[in-house]
Structure 1
Amino acid sequence: MSLLFIGIDPHTGDHESPTVWVDQEKHELVFQGWKPGPELEAECAAFEVPGHAVGIPENEAVVRVPARMVPMIREACDAVERAAARVH
């Protein structure tokens, strides 16, 4: 895996580190964030979207990332688009 580090939550402490990376080979965004409380996870699992099964598949997870990381997420989006454009 070819991970490109984009950034870490600027308010991170010694025990928390929401982080954003780009997987340059798979052209995917990779997030590390906080696990949601059971209420939020249940709400996400119950959310109904046309064409989407209700629930959270075993190989997926809900994570929380602070809004102050939006600039890093934008940078990651740009980086993954550049990597995908080089392939196509």
Structure 2
Amino acid sequence: MWVDTDTAEGPELVLQGKTADAATRSACGQDSPPADDETVIRIPVRMVDQIRKACDAAEAAGTQL
């Protein structure tokens, strides 16, 4: 996971994870169908601290742009 600050829309979190299985993708699609350029991934709970840090970094970068 990292923060990409070189996007026209402002900072974005870039996540890498395992592709969700078909059943999970289907269940997610019922609540929020992914757009053509989206997918459903799984992020292990052990990544929560890194996600928080990346969110903080993205938020801080957004105020500087």
- TM-score class, shorter: 0.7 to 0.9
More helix by share: 2
- 1:70 equivalent to 2:48? Answer yes
Give the 5 Å matches for 1:17-28. Answer: 20-26=1-7, 27-28=11-12
Gaps of 5+ in 1: 1-19, 48-53
Structure 1 length-normalised TM: 0.66
- 1:36: how far off? 0.5
Question: Which protein shows a greater Rg?
Answer: 1
Structure with the larger RCO, 1 or 2 (CA within 8 Å, 6+ apart): 2
Specify which of 32, 35, 40 is matched with residue 57 of structure 1. 35
After superposition, residues 22-61 of structure 1 pair within 5 angstroms as 22-26=3-7, 27-47=11-31, 55-61=33-39
Q: Percent identity?
A: 39
Moved segments of 4+, more than 4 Å: none
CA-atom RMSD in angstroms: 1.1
Q: Provide the C-alpha distance between the structure 1 equivalents of 2:43 and 2:63, rounded to a whole number of angstroms.
A: 27
Cα shift readout 1:16-66 (whole Å, capped 9, x = no counterpart): xxxx1100123010001000110000000111xxxxxx5222111111010
